[in-house]
Chains A and B, each alone.
Chain A
Amino acid sequence: MHNTINNADKTAAAEAVRKDIPLLRGGGVHYLDNAATALMPQVVTDATAGYDNNNRANIGRGLHKFAEVADARYGESRRALARLLNAADDEVIFTSGASAGLNLLAAALGQTLSPADAVVLSIAEHHSNIVPWQIAAKRYGFSLRFAAIDKSGAIDIGDLSRQNADGRARVFSLTNASNVSGAINNIGKMAKAARAHNDNAIIIIDGAQYAPHYPAGLAATLAATLGEDAADFYVFSGHKCYAPNGIGILCGRRAALESLPPVIGGGGAVNSVREDDYDMAAIPRRLEVGTPPITQAIGLAAAMQWAVNIPAAARQNANDLATMARQGLREIKGVRVLFDIGGDDNNNDNDKKGEGFLPIISFTMDNVHPHDCCQLLSAHNVAARGGNMCAEPLMRRVSPNGCVRVSIAPYNNAADITAMLDGVRETAKLLGR
């Protein structure tokens, strides 16, 4: 699909989004670290402060009227997020983030696996979608396999299928989009490839990077029924979705969630407790232990509502800025853009095709450590990320010394990219040779 929105409209749309972000209102801040944490719009801060200042009470436990109001607000938040995900209310589990969700799944599903089984990840996974499986594999004896990526950084679908040629892989846990390359992986294609040799393979999708960019696309991520070529479980983090820290979502169909053996327990997750046994509650409670992150859940619902309403023009602007960044970086001597396959087809139809790239650009500089580049960028008020991106298996293959990453959101503008490029040029002049 060709981009038909003109540049002036895209810029205007981005500026309107930018006005929602208090941290950007003063000017002079070039925040390009959105893949690490996104900035919060005022409406989210208002929602959380509103709850804390006016409705704060514990939920699910109190019989007083304040608790009833808090219960209602918390329930509304879950309902709103469930609608976004095309899920039932009880199919949305609040966690502390994508990492917590993946840890829960690995710990639970790991119990069901034996040394005869395998779990397939990809080489592009974040540590939070590798280490929990490694821990479980050591405990329960199953093997881990890693699907390769292609030169764009996307998971190689052919290799994904080959990883289960013997039919032993029972779980596939894969990223919806890489936090290094930005390459988007089509969930349907991954699920189909994963189940080519095992109809019952469980598909877990890490949506931490994808969710903030295409919140409207989340409705299509989850399988309507078990076995459909979609995700059985989908996780993402609130803080990357313009929401507070400490909140995330694990979403799954009821049958899939109910099949998870218990790995956590305590108040709220049980119906009753005796000295010799316990009776677990139904979902979602059985997977949410203790007093939940009420404030943060309310903030997440407000954030996703805001994100869904970001104009397409602003998202297209973000993709255009990624193109601008990529082209500018290519022109600086000593800079190598990682996973640069040439051209700039950012595919603004990502919602439908589920492919293409997020506006994330990772690069290296000859003779310059990423840490030094980021420090010098900081002198230009540019926030970028340097290091291994919590993706060491991937980085060991493409750049053992790490890289610099800039990640763009709908509230960024051309001045942000210009400042970044100026900073990289200065770094090259000072430290490169």
Chain B
Amino acid sequence: MTGLYHGDIISLARANINAGVLPNAPMAKQTNPWCGDECTISAAFDNGRIVKSLHQTRGCILCLAAAAKATTIATQLGDPSQFLALANTLAKTLQDNTPPESLELPKGLTLPEGLELFTPAIPAKNRHNCILLPFQALTELIQTQNI
């Protein structure tokens, strides 16, 4: 069995964490034309902070797990700029083959729990977009909010 599909990531993907759509909330959708993964994120904001975020994802295990994690992190951080910084750093570390636990994070930002689940995916470059898709959707959503 490939290490990519360890029990924790399968459990996370199957747990349906934050699955759904927030009514009347801003939304953003990203798709990966190569594999057909689709992720729609909706998020509620209060005083410029993310207070709730849900996802509707049709995709592989990595995409589903990443969507659960991205929406959880967004709400935990609250600060959209911190989420953007994290998403950007995550993309770079995947590209540079650096494990998430070695992430060089912007000052004041601590590594959210659980990103190490994706470490086995680092060598599988063709799967990076599956992990990043939900983060990209949330990034797009935040950027449209002019916060």
* Given known A387-B35, A402-B35, contact A376–B5 (CB-CB < 8 A): yes
On chain B, the residues within 8 Å of A376 by CB distance are 1-2, 5
A402 to B61: give the CA distance in the assembly, Å. Answer: 14
B1 and A372 contact, CB distance less than 8 A: no
Can you pick out 17 interface pairs between chain A and chain B where the beta carbons lie within 8 Å of each other? A369-B60, A369-B63, A370-B36, A371-B37, A372-B60, A375-B4, A375-B60, A375-B124, A376-B1, A387-B35, A400-B58, A402-B35, A430-B1, A430-B10, A431-B5, A431-B10, A431-B61
Q: Which of B36-87 contact A (CB under 8 A)?
A: 36-37, 58-63
A370 to B4: give the CA distance in the assembly, Å. Answer: 15
Q: With A371-B37, A379-B2, A431-B5 given, can you name 11 additional A-B contacts, CB distance below 8 Å?
A: A369-B37, A369-B61, A370-B60, A371-B127, A372-B5, A372-B62, A375-B124, A375-B127, A388-B36, A400-B58, A430-B10
On chain B, the residues within 8 Å of A54 by CB distance are none
Give B contacts to A, CB under 8 Å: 1-2, 4-5, 10, 34-37, 58-63, 124, 127, 130
A372 and B61 contact, CB distance less than 8 A: yes
Q: Which of A171-205 contact B (CB under 8 A)?
A: none
Interface 0/1 of A361-376, CB less than 8 Å to B? 0000000011110011
Shortest B60–chain A CB gap in Å is 4
On chain A, the residues within 8 Å of B2 by CB distance are 375-376, 378-379
A387 to B36: give the CA distance in the assembly, Å. Answer: 6
A426 and B1 contact, CB distance less than 8 A: yes
On chain A, the residues within 8 Å of B60 by CB distance are 369-372, 375
B5's nearest neighbour on chain A, judged by CB, is A430
A371 to B34: give the CA distance in the assembly, Å. Answer: 10
Q: Which of A289-325 contact B (CB under 8 A)?
A: none
Q: Which of A370-402 contact B (CB under 8 A)?
A: 370-372, 375-376, 378-379, 386-388, 395, 400-402
A401 to B64: give the CA distance in the assembly, Å. Answer: 14
Query: Which one of B4, B60, B127 has the highest number of Cβ atoms from chain A below 10 Å of its Cβ?
Result: B60
Shortest B30–chain A CB gap in Å is 15
B64's nearest neighbour on chain A, judged by CB, is A369
On chain B, the residues within 8 Å of A375 by CB distance are 2, 4-5, 60, 124, 127
